[in-house]
Amino acid sequence: MVKVINVRQSVFEENNKIAMKNREFFDSLNLFVINLMSAPGAGKTSIIERTIDALKEKFKIGVIEGDITSSIDAEKLEKKGIPTIQLNTGGECHLDANMISQAIENFNFNGLDLIIIENVGNLVCPAEFKVGEDIKVMILSAPEGHDKPKKYPLMFMESSALLINKIDLIPYIDTDINALIKNAKEINPNIQIFKTSAKTGEGIKEWTEWLTEKIVQKRGNI
Amino acid sequence: MVKVINVRQSVFEENNKIAMKNREFFDSLNLFVINLMSAPGAGKTSIIERTIDALKEKFKIGVIEGDITSSIDAEKLEKKGIPTIQLNTGGECHLDANMISQAIENFNFNGLDLIIIENVGNLVCPAEFKVGEDIKVMILSAPEGHDKPKKYPLMFMESSALLINKIDLIPYIDTDINALIKNAKEINPNIQIFKTSAKTGEGIKEWTEWLTEKIVQKRGNI
């Protein structure tokens, strides 16, 4: 019998071990960690800015920025006085646990309450890699269309919350929001859905109240 | 000295060998092949439909559909009477040359003039894998924002043409189209740029005229 090695499986197993260590580190600091995922240009950075504006009186917040090569978003956040570290993946289309463990080695997390990890813009691979987060949250930009849960099911399956962003564009596009919600719930009946606009601020209150509850829940448990 | 194997490099080399064989096959049939790439929901399928409507009197056109799991787009195109084959990548976030060689084994390309390969919705990895195409073409949806060439440079570098789609949304969004064009040209000075709307039909004439010239050029060369 030839020994068969499922390379992909072993990649995930190794990744999960490191993710568990990252999670233990974050737990030890009483830190709530979100792994924020979306396609390119769905509004991750703008939603992070809105979220920080809404929660900065309650919590100390830091950001881990994942990008292929640039540091545009990290610089934008740093200008606003938000503790930020940039991870450049050098071509990889997602963050993995090992990359986050490098952030842990190079960034001071003491005194923070919430970390938002902005993953690389991609609806596929980021959903496959745990990084040590408490929850995964995804953003779908309304113009991307209502068929996306059927085409990219894993991310919808893995996410605790879905923000349907750029909701202000609804009058001008063909996306059927009710069909989108139905398609998302079919893949993941437990997914919490918020209709948001980082531009107008719509839905940010509902999203950040839900998030506050999650953060407080974790702190209660520790 | 320990022997070092650059796994990623060897993956690309192996892929390129198969891509060259695919290309020879397509050349032998006098077939022009486009590898069409974009983020999810930028409008690949709608642009394919518009392109076929504009060119169907001149050329016989077939489509290779790449998706993680579904066949929504392939069914849409087949209903319109377009010869279509579906490739499901089973989790992979891009098409590679070996997948296209499986399409070659299972699909009748005789009598066709143009093949459009609709890649998986992803701005990162599809740009890394040649599949045997004549040209790569990318779509960026206007709402994705003008910073995308800086964040996902490889796809802009590899593409012969960029379609800035959903241009009808410009009055309602913050994307600076001139900055987007400047950023794209900085990465790739030779990239041909078309402003399109699959919804209103804007720009489809310019794009399909350019494409017609490319197809005719290849036929002249053979």
B220 pLDDT band, cuts 50/70/90, is confident
Report d(CA B34, CA B40) in Å as an integer. Answer: 18
| pLDDT > 90 in chain A, percent | 87
* Mean pLDDT in residue range A3-9: 66
B189 pLDDT band, cuts 50/70/90, is very high
The answer to whether the Cβ–Cβ distance between A125 and B93 falls below 8 Å is yes
Provide the mean pLDDT of chain A: 94
Top residue of A89, A93, A173 to mutate, by most chain B CBs within 10 Å, is A93
Any bridge partners for residue B141, and if so which? B165
* Mean pLDDT in residue range B62-85: 92
Which residues, including other chains, have CB under 8 Å from residue A159's CB and lie 6 or more apart? Answer: A37, A127, A135, A136, A137, A138, A188, A191
Report d(CA B9, CA B191) in Å as an integer. Answer: 26
pLDDT at res. A219: 80
Nearest Cα neighbor of A149 from A174, A185, A173 is A185
pLDDT at res. A113: 96
A9 pLDDT band, cuts 50/70/90, is confident
pLDDT at res. A4: 64
ipTM for the complex? 0.88
Nearest to A41 among B39, B72, B124 (CB): B39
The answer to whether the Cβ–Cβ distance between B40 and A123 falls below 8 Å is yes
The answer to whether the Cβ–Cβ distance between B41 and A145 falls below 8 Å is yes
State pLDDT tens for residues B7-38. Answer: 667 788 999 999 999 999 999 999 999 999 99
pLDDT at res. A5: 63
Report d(CA A147, CA A172) in Å as an integer. Answer: 18
* N residues, chain A: 222
Report d(CA A176, CA A36) in Å as an integer. Answer: 24
A184 pLDDT band, cuts 50/70/90, is very high
Nearest to B150 among A70, A141, A172 (CB): A70
Q: How far is A127 from chain B (nearest CA, A)?
A: 11
Q: Which residues of A144-155 are buried (b: 16+ CB within 10 A; e: fewer)?
A: bbbbbbbbbbbb
The answer to whether the Cβ–Cβ distance between B148 and A41 falls below 8 Å is yes
Q: How many CB atoms lie within 10 A of CB B65?
A: 28
Nearest Cα neighbor of B112 from B2, B3, B219, B201 is B219
Q: Give the single-character DSSP code of B116.
A: E
A1 pLDDT band, cuts 50/70/90, is low
A8 pLDDT band, cuts 50/70/90, is low
**In this predicted model, which residue has the larger pLDDT, A91 or A24?**
A24
The answer to whether the Cβ–Cβ distance between B121 and A123 falls below 8 Å is yes
Report d(CA A190, CA A150) in Å as an integer. Answer: 16
* Mean pLDDT in residue range B155-181: 98
Report d(CA A85, CA A78) in Å as an integer. Answer: 9
pLDDT at res. A221: 59
Handedness of CA B44, B50, B55, B59 (dihedral sign): positive
Give A206: exposed, middle or buried? Use CB within 10 Å, 0-12, 13-18, 19+.
middle
pLDDT at B200 over 70: yes
* Mean pLDDT in residue range B114-118: 98
